[in-house]
Structure 1
């Protein structure tokens, strides 16, 4: 595995560690201002990955799928980051702190609307990631070497199409409550 692949793994681990530390500071130690520092530092993780991947390409590294996945990771982190933090916050309060209301399991049209909202976030992630991919394509300016970027973009386009079909299916066949 190359440097960028390891950095993606490190960024993902750092994302969850920073969030868990922030939640622990907020709820266990009652240090709300300090927890906000951790939550607001999450975008720095993405910035580090963006800068390192961009510089790696700029200084002549051969583009790999890892570079392309870095763009996917950054787009997804930006688009889904806030909702993932809110999701974990709700779970942390209920299951760890034994506080707050039990997380509601969505069903029916509420589940369908939530699925469509998630699809909208996926489209936002796709736009950000695609822009980053096109930026890396411009940096390398070599059609042959840019193949990993185009391949990941094609795969992601297929995945977003599948996500759309699944999201629409929730309106046709709503999820039943258990």
Structure 2
């Protein structure tokens, strides 16, 4: 039941997001758009309540309960970021807004961007770990919390791996390509138009 609800929450997230952005940019219903986008956190609250109810009714703690905690943590950390990113693209494509800013590709600005993304992962991991710890306490001696504790280990591994990846951008920043002289660029553009 919990896995089906996680899938329903993910589908609901994207449906609400599409409806909210469509209402905002296609129908010009700004208030309706805000209401639809504010319904997004309700999905996580429902998932949290159903997971707690499932454990309360004596369900054996399993990987699906851990997955629910991970999903909620991910949504808390990356949900607003995803909505803002897609809102920028929708404004550009549907309302003639400026193209959204892309993340930096080179040097220390890229390393700073990757560091900020890693901090989002840390926030998501903290939320998921807190929920998992609360579930372990909630279950108490009535069940075997080893699966939930294993999920906490998975959370720590994800944070460590993402941290190492982000660190590589700082230790060995990707260098920007060398700028070519104007005459070389003009020749390449001319060659490109012939093909």
TM-score between the two structures when normalised by the length of structure 1: 0.92
Mapped partners of 2:172, 2:96: distance in 1: 34
Quickly say closer, same or farther: Cα 1:94–1:173, change in 2 above 3 A: farther
**How much does 1:144 deviate?**
6.2
Distance 1:12 1:175, change over 3 A: farther
- Aligned mates of 2:100, 2:118 — CA distance in 1: 25
Match of residue 115 from structure 2: 116
Higher relative contact order (CA 8 A, sep 6+): 1
- How far is 1:98 from its partner? 4.5
Give 1:25-36 correspondences, 5 Å limit.
25-36=23-34
Measured after TM superposition, the shift of residue 106 of structure 1 is 2.0
Return the offset for 1:142. 3.2
Where does the alignment leave 5 or more consecutive residues of structure 1 unmatched? none
The CA RMSD over aligned residues, in Å, is 1.7
SS in 2 for 1:66: helix
Partners of 2:73 and 2:126 within 8 A in 1: yes
Give the Cα separation in 2 of the matches to 1:148 and 1:102.
42
* Native 8 Å contact 2:61 2:143 kept in 1: no
TM-score with structure 2 setting the length: 0.84
Aligned residues: 176
Determine the structure 2 residue equivalent to 1:72.
Answer: 70
Instruction: Summarize the alignment of residues 24-103 of structure 1 with structure 2, pairs less than 5 Å apart.
Output: 24-103=22-101
